[in-house]
Amino acid sequence: MLFAAYAVLFLYAQNLSEVLLVDIGAPLVRAVLGAAVVLGIATLIYRNAERAAIVASALVIAFFAYGHVAGLLGPGTTDRIQLAFWAVIVIIAAIHAARARSVAGLTRGLNLVAVVLVVLVSLTIVPYEVNRAGRGAVSVAGPVAAASGATDAPDIYYLVFDRYGSADAIERRFGITDNDLYDWLASRGFQEPADSRGAYRATDFSLTAILNMQYLDNLTEAIGRVSDDRTPAHQMLAQHAVGRFLKEHGYRYYHIGAWFEPTASIPIADENLSFDTTSEFEGVLSDTTIVPAVQGVLGIQTPETTFRDRHRGGTLFAFRQLHRLATAPGPKFVFAHVLLPHDPYVFRADGSVILEKESKREEEKDLYRGHLEFANKNIKSIVDDLLSGPDSEDPIVIIQADEGPLYCRSVDCPEMSVDYAATRFGVLNALYLPGFEGRLPATFSTVNTFRTIFREYFGADLPDLPVHSYSWPDNDHIYDFKDMNEFLEQRDAQ
């Protein structure tokens, strides 16, 4: 049971800056209970708990260690070879448990190893959690005064397409110049500020700023510049000001989540809609066990049926839900985080599947183009649905990216340069604002999105904030924000 607990605690210790202690409760209980069940069955077979525990420990170690060991082996070591190796380990343990005169010494040794492992991983977790608790809760109060009562304002759809860059960003990164979505949205009445800028270079920070209508300087003040802990921003996102304000005005909040943990579900939403209720932490834990390899060898599922399938299935689920919610009664606020054209690249332009081995043979610009074209097809279909009724019933529709494309594949490789700033902070940003006769400023920060809407449709006292785009040096200094405006202005002057 200690080995089972260690498997969960080890993964948590590797991801302390991304998840909270509450995230490991359910998987930890399931792991320990699973180990207890295996121990109970083995005890019935061996009629001795100590002998049974040796076999149960071998099974638990094989179950949880498989993925970690597989990651250390070369590509020539197939699942069949690895499964055979672990089968030998379990068989040796079973034979020793059955034939050894005494297993007391081995039991003490395994107990010692398990206790040491749990203590060592706890020495990483406990100080981190104590430090996190000592900081106190980060304020999530938004800049809008509390309000109540129903409203005649339109339904609001906030559709975030992850890493969908501006025309300039996509051209710089991939050389794509023929994307017709911008012109198509303009023809349907969307306003598209010529210079739309993301507020931060990462999804969690960007969405936290947008949905709380403020930059995150308060996190720098509360936490300091030397930190890798992203969970305070996640806490702000979970209780975001936009959702609370709209609920107080009589809106029903529908949240369409993704596999990305901070947006998988939002506690304040009236209805969380998700293709896969498994959390990102639990998904990674499951993928590192022996189960995917066994299923693949037995043909129960293909090697693709893991993270890539969740990415594909979740995206298609989001599109289905958006079409469905177009017919739901209002007033409603629909927030959908759609991981397109975000990798992994699992769609071709026509929506057909691209397998991982195929994606590795193709250039990223072609893979990104496929995701882009598939996203465009669905965006157009959704917009047609949302605007199909009488003009008087048209909703507010925000089609936006949280960030531009990655500057290089697999890692963000941040740098202080014009090309980097233009690529990462140039974002898709199109707003359909029924009844609004003004024009959005040409240079527009996404942090002002809901400030504009609440000011124009609800009369809120929310002037636009100055336009800033923030990066940071590395993942150990995520609150050491560096303003990229200087480089974006150099881009504009080119």
pLDDT, tens digit only, all 494 positions of the chain:
999 999 999 999 988 877 777 778 889 999 999 999 999 999 999 999 999 999 999 999 999 999 888 878 766 678 888 899 999 999 999 999 999 999 999 999 999 999 999 999 999 999 888 887 766 555 555 555 545 444 678 999 999 999 999 999 999 999 999 999 999 999 999 999 999 999 999 999 999 999 999 999 999 998 999 999 998 999 999 999 999 999 999 999 999 998 888 999 999 999 898 886 566 688 788 888 998 888 878 877 655 557 888 899 999 999 999 999 998 888 999 999 999 999 999 999 999 999 888 988 999 999 999 999 999 999 999 999 999 989 989 999 999 999 999 988 666 688 889 999 999 999 999 999 999 989 999 999 999 999 999 999 999 999 999 999 999 998 899 999 999 999 998 887 76
pTM of the model: 0.77
Q: Give, for 394, the enclosing helix (H) or strand (E).
A: none
For residues 257 and 326, give the distance between their C-alpha atoms in angstroms, rounded to a whole number.
Answer: 17
The pLDDT value recorded for residue 104 is 92
CATH class of the 156-493 domain in this structure: alpha beta
CA-based nearest residue to 438, from 450, 424, 416, 456: 456
Q: Helix %, strand %, coil % for the chain, to 5?
A: 55, 10, 35
- Helix 79-99 with 291-298: angle, nearest 10 deg: 110
Alpha helices in 104-225 (DSSP H): 104-135, 167-174, 181-187, 203-212, 217-223
What DSSP character marks residue 271? Answer: E
CA-based nearest residue to 233, from 19, 484, 390, 381: 19
Residue 152 in tokens: 């005649």
- Which residue matches tokens 């002998």? 51
- Residue type for position 100: A
> Phi and psi for 443 in degrees, rounded to 5?
-100, 115
> Phi and psi for 282 in degrees, rounded to 5?
-65, -35
Q: How many helices (H) and strands (E) does the chain have?
A: 20, 10
For residues 434 and 432, give the distance between their C-alpha atoms in angstroms, rounded to a whole number.
Answer: 6
**Cβ atoms of residues 181 and 400 within 8 Å:** no
- Which residue matches tokens 């930890």? 28
For residues 13 and 228, give the distance between their C-alpha atoms in angstroms, rounded to a whole number.
Answer: 13
The pLDDT value recorded for residue 204 is 95
For residues 357 and 367, give the distance between their C-alpha atoms in angstroms, rounded to a whole number.
Answer: 13
Burial of 295: CB neighbours in 10 Å, binned 0-12, 13-18, 19+: middle
Domain span(s) for CATH 3.40.720.10 in the chain? 156-493
For residues 245 and 212, give the distance between their C-alpha atoms in angstroms, rounded to a whole number.
Answer: 10
What DSSP character marks residue 448? Answer: G
For residues 185 and 191, give the distance between their C-alpha atoms in angstroms, rounded to a whole number.
Answer: 8
CA Rg, the chain, in Å? 25
The pLDDT value recorded for residue 148 is 46
Those residues with Cβ within 8 angstroms of residue 288's Cβ, 6 or more apart along the chain or in another chain = 11, 64, 66, 67, 68
The pLDDT value recorded for residue 411 is 64
Do the strands 271-273 and 332-338 form a parallel or antiparallel pair, or are they unpaired? unpaired
- Which residue matches tokens 């606020």? 333
The pLDDT value recorded for residue 413 is 81
For residues 258 and 265, give the distance between their C-alpha atoms in angstroms, rounded to a whole number.
Answer: 8
Residue 425 in tokens: 């902070």
3 state DSSP class of 392: helix
For residues 272 and 243, give the distance between their C-alpha atoms in angstroms, rounded to a whole number.
Answer: 13
The pLDDT value recorded for residue 275 is 81
**Cβ atoms of residues 400 and 427 within 8 Å:** yes
The pLDDT value recorded for residue 356 is 85
